[in-house]
Chains A and B, each alone.
Chain A
Amino acid sequence: MLTVLNQMSMKLESRSVNEGFARQAVAAFLAQLDPTMDELNDIKTVVSEAVTNAIVHGYRDRLGYINVSVRLLEGRTVEIKVRDQGCGIADVAQARQPMFTTGDDTRSGMGFTIMESFTDRLRVRSSPGHGTLVTLTRTLSARRGAQA
């Protein structure tokens, strides 16, 4: 087990206006690791994907809470969890396929593909009727003068 050096969590209502807040808040928390602009952009993108999925799919027809938590682990590893108590995913393997979507015409089924290519590891645990937990892990490049 990697040592946890720092962590934060937040609870948001599933309103689309919170998508921007969630990715900005995670980025601000990660500033202590002095990530590169590209690393920060990748992380903002995957947070946006996971939070948007919770809003548009998990809580398709109602308002609910989304938990976003970030843990900074030794070795500059960042672990982000996005959890909802929404409708869940019946077939996760199918949902992770590129271009698979159950959404409307504003969705293209590429969210999981983007999360996968911008992280080192994407884990999706879901239970229909109970909700979904997405865990995104990314190790940042070594930087001189940065902590850990």
Chain B
Amino acid sequence: MSLHQPASGVAGDGRGRWSLRHELIGLSGVVERNLYLVKRYIWWDIAFFVWTVANTLSIVFIARGIEASGGTIDVNRAATSLLIGAVIWAYLGVIFEIMTETVAWERWEGTIEYTFMAPLSRSVHLFGMGAFALLYGMARALLLFAVCAFFFDLSIPDADFGAALVVLAVASVSFVGLGIVTAVLPLISPEKGSQLGFVAQGLLLVVSGVYYPVEVLPRWMQWLATVSPATYALDGIRDAILVGDPLTAMGDELWPLVVIGVVAVPVGLAVFRRGERYAKQHGKLKRSG
């Protein structure tokens, strides 16, 4: 290949119009990059998974612990309910972590400016991160559920896993929307952004009824629970797995999830866009200290 040819790179020189197809190629690039990272950090991933399994088991053991210390509960049911809480929580954690990394990790590696000056639009870039987060989070959640259910020999004969997965998928849209909002925090405040992400995550954990019914919370916290997508996701999934409720009986959960999702994603994108603008105005894209 001669250097004197106009086609200096693979793109050639006849630049076609940037189209949806290019955006989708870009989106696949986001997923591709994250798969490379999983591959390169595989031991870290395995260690993190083992930690999650241990953490989840220790929570599910609480059900047996209560019985052993004289409490009267349906151990199988309580254990399954706790397991669902722990698995969904782990899933949500993975999504938040990956979305927050959109900015934080790239800033750390020093690649952020190259990503932000690429033609790929920001929304598709973020959707790519969301798509990977869902795939990766879902794979981990299923594995975690299977390992723990096997360990406790749980009996869930009525479970409607299909309905549970649909609820989770619908809820995931909102999770990604919220994740985009937390992703912007490191952009605005390189020093404090990631910490604020943890605060937001912690707030969701306490109000959404991950390990207990929302009704036990003080009233103001219950109000927060009604706007948290995790509340509905947990409700719906517990109904599907413990009671075997079919999808048709999930209106109470699905509708709020759809509404929250439809609001959260555009709001997330708008917030991110403003954050990006702010960062570009004040020179914070790259700034590390």
B is a partner of A: no
Residues of A within 8 A of B (CB): none
